[in-house]
Amino acid sequence: MKEPEKLRSMVIQANGMLPFEVYRDLYDLAAQFPGDTIVEIGTAHGAGTISLCLGALSAGKQPKVFTVDRFEGRYSSRSAYGDVRDNLEIVRNNFRDSGIGEHIKIFAGSSSDFAVQQCPDVIDILVLDADGRIDRDLINFASKLSPHAAIVIDDYDHRVSLSSRPDGSTYVDLKHVITKRLLDRYVAEGLIDIVNVQKSTAFCRKAEGAEWDVDKMADMALECYRELVFTDIDRIALFRWLRKRVKANVPPWLMQRLRNYRARQVPAH
Ligand SMILES: C[S@@+](CC[C@H](N)C(=O)[O-])C[C@H]1O[C@@H](n2cnc3c(N)ncnc32)[C@H](O)[C@@H]1O
């Protein structure tokens, strides 16, 4: 299905964090998949929400899209844009500009709070793009998923990254690694089928006839988290991050001197 011309500009306006191909696939999924109740964990500024909602509308549906974000916190990318109120204003404006406001319910809070406070009775499409703890969300929403629900899970790759906050502090980000381990385990246990992987986003289905025993799922998850104790890190990624940090912290005059010095080292031909 062809997405509207304006989808790309709307995604850019909403500071979309994923490759555009993923938004296009979300649009197609919402258009083609039966059912109109969508739950998205990890709104950010609404790029995924907009793609899903416009996709469903393009197929003549009347979608109900629930989108959830804490919009704050030490590990939230939204903290760079202000507090919860500031982020909510940005998101509401983006939904209004995209003409989808009436179909969207925004929940400002954690996915766990949403699960007990405002979750709809049936979920047709579940999109997880939050903090990598997909076991928590799959377990919390297990009883609400329709029998063949579509489940979209971002950050499905082996990448370990180092991230820095504006105040200069640094942390190791293992959310891709844990997402990969958890999803692979649930797939191996026959609970979920992966239909397609676009970049680092897995488009899945609840496996046909699978019985989700949430206690067993929690035990499987614990084993995956235990494996994180020793996690390989790609040296090139480490080097790139270090170079970026050095560049950000070296004063411009010293940077210029280093460049001049390097230029003098290049042998003349
Ligand atoms: C990678 S961003 C989402 C990107 C977004 N889907 C897009 O397409 O631009 C992850 C978001 O998840 C939110 N988040 C992280 N953990 C969460 C949790 N436990 N409950 C709700 N939101 C959470 C963060 O605040 C952040 O805005």
For a substitution probing ligand 1, which of 76, 117, 153 has the most ligand atoms within 8 Å of its CB? 76
**What was the pLDDT predicted at 166?**
73
Both 137 and 251 in one domain: the answer is no
CA of 79 to the centre of ligand 1 (A): 11
Both 110 and 241 in one domain: the answer is no
In-domain check, residue 108:
yes
In-domain check, residue 83:
yes
Residue nearest to atom 11 of ligand 1 (CA): 42
More confident residue, 259 or 194: 194
Q: What is the mean pLDDT of the chain?
A: 93
In-domain check, residue 63:
yes
Both 163 and 249 in one domain: the answer is no
In-domain check, residue 1:
no
Domain that holds residue 125: 6-233
Both 219 and 240 in one domain: the answer is no
Q: Give the 3-state DSSP-derived string for the chain, with helices as H, strands as E and coil as C.
A: CCCCCHHHHHHHHCCCCCCHHHHHHHHHHHHHCCCCEEEEECCCCCHHHHHHHHHHHHCCCCCEEEEEECCCCCCCHHHHHCCHHHHHHHHHHHHHHHCCHHHEEEEECCHHHHHHHCCCCCEEEEEECCCCCHHHHHHHHHHHEEEEEEEEECCCCCCCEEEECCCCCEEEECHHHHHHHHHHHHHHCCCEEEEEEECCEEEEEECCCCCCCHHHHHHHHHHHHHHHHCCCCCHHHHHHHHHHHHHHHCCHHHHHHHHHHHHHHCCCC
In-domain check, residue 194:
yes
In-domain check, residue 185:
yes
Both 114 and 27 in one domain: the answer is yes
For ligand 1, whether the C-beta of 94 sits within 6 Å is no
pLDDT digits (tens, 9 = 90+) for 88-140: 999 999 999 999 999 999 999 999 999 999 999 999 999 999 999 999 999 99
CATH number at 190 reads: 3.40.50.150
For a substitution probing ligand 1, which of 23, 25, 41 has the most ligand atoms within 8 Å of its CB? 41
In-domain check, residue 70:
yes
Both 175 and 243 in one domain: the answer is no
Residue 239 pLDDT more than 90? no
Both 246 and 266 in one domain: the answer is yes
CA of 40 to the centre of ligand 1 (A): 9
In-domain check, residue 263:
yes
Both 193 and 240 in one domain: the answer is no
Both 218 and 245 in one domain: the answer is no
Both 265 and 186 in one domain: the answer is no
Residue 83 pLDDT more than 80? yes
Both 170 and 201 in one domain: the answer is yes
